[in-house]
Chains A and B, each alone.
Chain A
Amino acid sequence: MKFKGTENYVATEDLMVAVNAAITLQRPLLVKGEPGTGKTVLAEEIAKSLGKKLITWSIKSTTRAQQGLYEYDAVSRLRDSQLGDERVHDIGNYIVKGKLWEAFEADGEAPVLLIDEIDKADIEFPNDLLQELDRMEFFVYETQQTVKATNRPIVIITSNNEKELPDAFLRRCFFHYIRFPDADTMAEIIEVHYPGIQKRLVAEALNLFYDMRDVSGLKKKPSTSELLDWLKLLMAEDLPPEALRAKDAKTAVPPMHGALLKNEQDVHLFERLAFMARREGR
C-alpha cells in the first residue's frame, strides 16, 4: 500500500515519503502550506489512489471535538417525550453519530478521514481529540458503550496556521509543509490538469504568474489553484500567447486578472504599476 501520486495529482518526493510513513505507522499526517497548494485535494487523491472511501470532516470556528464523535439530541427526545412517542425509552435513538464514529465503523477497508482546517476550531479542539486519534476508540456515556475502530483509518489533517496547535497533539502526528511548487513542478501540474495546452501559452503564462508573485506588496499572492483557474479562462477565450507577452504596452495588467487577483487593493496596485510603466515607456 504505497502512495505514489495519481494522474491528477503531482506529488513531490518528500510528500510521498511523509504520506507513506503516516500510512505505515498509522499516525495522523498534518499538512500545512500556503492556501491553494492542494492540501485538501491531497486527501481526496490518497483515497482515490488507494481505492478507499473518503470521509471529510470540515471544521468551523464553532465545531467542538464532541461533534466528531457523537451528539446527544436532547431536544428531539424532549419533544418525543411530550408527544408520548415510544422511541423515547431507548436513549440510543437520540445518539447522532459523528464523522469519527463513521470512520471507525466503516466496514471492510479502513477509510481515509480528512479533518479539514483544524486551526479554524477553538484552541482546545485538538487536545480534546488526542486520545480518540491515538487509540482510535472512545466511550459513549449515554449508552455506556465503547466504540473501537475495526481498521485504523488513515487520518489527514490540514491547517492554515491560524492557530498554534498544542505540542501534545503535534507529537503524535507526522508533519508535512507543502512548499509552493517551483516552475518545473508547476508545468507538470498544469500538464496533468490541462493536457495538451499550448506549450507557449503555458510558458508565457507561467512567466507572468511568477512575475506577479514577485511583486511586493500584494495582499494575497496568487497560488496554484488560482493559476489553474486562470489558464482555464485563457483557454476558453482562446487567447494567443502574444497577448500575454505585451508587458510593456497598455496591457501591463494581465488579461483575465480577476482569476488571479482576489483583492481590490491588489488590482489597484497593478493598475498603478501599469500606469507607471506606460509613463516610463513614453
Chain B
Amino acid sequence: MFTGFFYKLKEIRVPVSLREYLTLLEAVEKGLANYSVEDFYYLARSALVKDERHLDKFDRVFSEHFKGVIDLTEGMDEVEKTEIPEEWLHKLAEKFLSDEEKAEIEALGGWEKLMETLKQRLEEQKGRHQGGNKWIGTAGTSPFGAYGYNPEGVRIGQDKSRHRRAVKVWDKREFKNLDDSVEIGTRNIKVALRRLRKWARTGAADELDLPGTITSTARQGWLDVQMRPERHNAVKILMLFDVGGSMDDHIKVCEELFSAVKTEFKHLEYYYFHNCPYEGLWKDNARRWNEQVSTWDVINTYGADYKLVIVGDATMSPYEITYPGGAVEYWNAEAGAVWMQRLLDHFDHAAWINPQPENWWRHHQSIQIMHKLMAGRMFPLSLDGLDRMTGELNR
C-alpha cells in the first residue's frame, strides 16, 4: 500500500523495519487515520519514526512522496513561501560550484553575517549594477542578487517567489534542528560519550554485596556479610587539542566538546598542539613557549590503556606533516608524521575528531595524509561521528 514510501524512508536511512510498517498498516485498517492526509501524517510519523533526529528526514520523504495526493485533495490554501528551500540551494550549489568556491562563500560568514553585509552594501551602492562579483545585481557570484549561485544568497528585486506552493505541516520542517548532523551541544556530546563508559570495581570495598551475602550466608549457616568496591567509570582518556589558526572557526564546538569530556571522565588528561603534534605539547596556551612538555614524556607517562583522542581540523600545508622543519612556528627536527606514528604505536586505541565537514575531507591533501596515518580512524565532530568514534575506541 505504502511500500514505495517505506522504501524511500529506508533509502534515506530512517531506521524503519517491517514490524513498524505492519503496525502502521494495522492502524490504518482500524481507521485511525480518519481518511485525512494530516492524520495519516501524524499516525505514520508516530509509528515509523522513533527518534526525533529522524523527524526531519521523515518530513522530507513524506512531502516528496505524497505531493501529488496532497495537491489534488487539499492544495487549496496556498501559502507564500518566502525563501528558497535550503536543500534546493545546496543542490544547485553542488551542481555549479566547486568545493573550493563553496568553502569561500561559506567563509563569508553565516546567514546573519550575510544580512549585515547586505545592509552595508545597499548603503554603499548607488545606482544599478550588473555582473561583477561584489555589487548587487543579476547573474553574478556575489551572494546578493537574483538567480545567482551563492548557496547562502539573498534574493533581491525578484518581484515574486518562483516557488509558490502550499506549506503543509511536513513542509514547515520544524524538526530540522533536531537532525543529529546539525546541532551539537554539551549535553548531546555527553550522551554520545556515555558509550565509552567502562564499569569496573576497584578500590576500597565499601558497598554491601547483597547476592554475595546471601550465597555466603547460606553456605556458612550464619550471617556472613560480604562487601565489594563501588562501581565506577574506569575508562582513561588522553586528549590532544589543536588550537589557533584555522581552528578558530571551530572554537565554540570544541569548547562544548571539551566541557562535556571534562565532566564525563574521571581519568582525563589533555594537552594542546598547533596543527600537528611535534616534539612538544603544552597544557596552558598563555605559557605555551615556557611550559612545553616533551611528547616523549607524555608517551611514557600514560600507559597504553589510555585511549588517545586528537581533536583538530588537520587543515594545513602537507609539508607540516611530512617534512622535518615543516612546522609553521619553529624548526622541528623530525617530521610531524614521525611523531604521529610514535603516538599511534604507543596508544592502541586512538581516534581523530575533525570539526571540518566530512565531505570536504577529500579536498584537503593534509586531511587525507592524516586520515591515512590514522588508518581511517578519523571522525567528523557531529553526534553521529562521536558515536562512531566511541564504537571504534571500544573495540
Question: Which A residues lie at the B interface, using CB under 8 A?
Answer: 13-14, 17-18, 20-22, 24-25, 27, 30, 32, 74-75, 78, 161-165, 167, 170-177, 179
Contact = CB atoms under 8 A, between A and B. Distances in A.
B32 interface: yes
A165 B15 CA distance: 13
Contacts of B49: 175
Given A163-B191, A174-B47, A175-B49, A18 B42 contact: yes
A163 B15 CA distance: 17
Contacts of A17: 32, 39, 42-43, 46
B169 to A, nearest CB: 8
B55 interface: yes
Nearest to A19: B46
Bin the interface of chain B by size.
20 to 34
A21 B174 contact: no
Nearest to B40: A17
Contacts of A30: 50
Contacts of A162: 191, 194
Contacts of B15: 167
Given A20-B32, A163-B194, A171-B20, A25 B26 contact: yes
Interface of B: 15, 17, 19-20, 23, 26-27, 30, 32, 38-39, 42-43, 45-47, 49-52, 55, 174-175, 178, 191, 194, 210, 214, 217, 223
B214 A177 contact: no
A96 to B, nearest CB: 14
Residue in A163, A167, A177 whose Cβ sees the most chain B Cβ within 10 Å = A177
A78 B213 CA distance: 11
Contacts of B42: 13-14, 17-18
A162 B178 CA distance: 15
B183 to A, nearest CB: 13
Given A21-B46, A74-B214, A164-B191, 7 more contacts: A17-B46, A20-B32, A25-B23, A25-B32, A162-B194, A171-B19, A177-B52
Given A25-B26, A171-B20, A177 B55 contact: yes
A78 B224 CA distance: 12
Contacts of B17: 167, 171
A80 to B, nearest CB: 14
Contacts of B27: 21, 24-25
B227 to A, nearest CB: 16
18 contacts: A14-B45, A17-B39, A17-B46, A21-B27, A25-B30, A25-B32, A27-B23, A32-B52, A163-B194, A167-B17, A170-B51, A174-B23, A174-B46, A175-B46, A175-B47, A176-B46, A177-B52, A177-B55
B196 to A, nearest CB: 12
A177 B175 CA distance: 10
B46 A13 contact: no
A75 B20 contact: no
Contacts of A75: 210, 214
A179 B59 CA distance: 15
A78 B214 contact: yes
B38 A24 contact: no
Contacts of A177: 52, 55, 175, 178
B39 to A, nearest CB: 6
Contacts of A27: 23
Contacts of B214: 74-75, 78
A172 B52 CA distance: 16
B50 A170 contact: yes
A163 B188 CA distance: 10
A163 B51 CA distance: 12
A18 B19 contact: no
B131 to A, nearest CB: 38
Nearest to B215: A74
Nearest to A165: B50
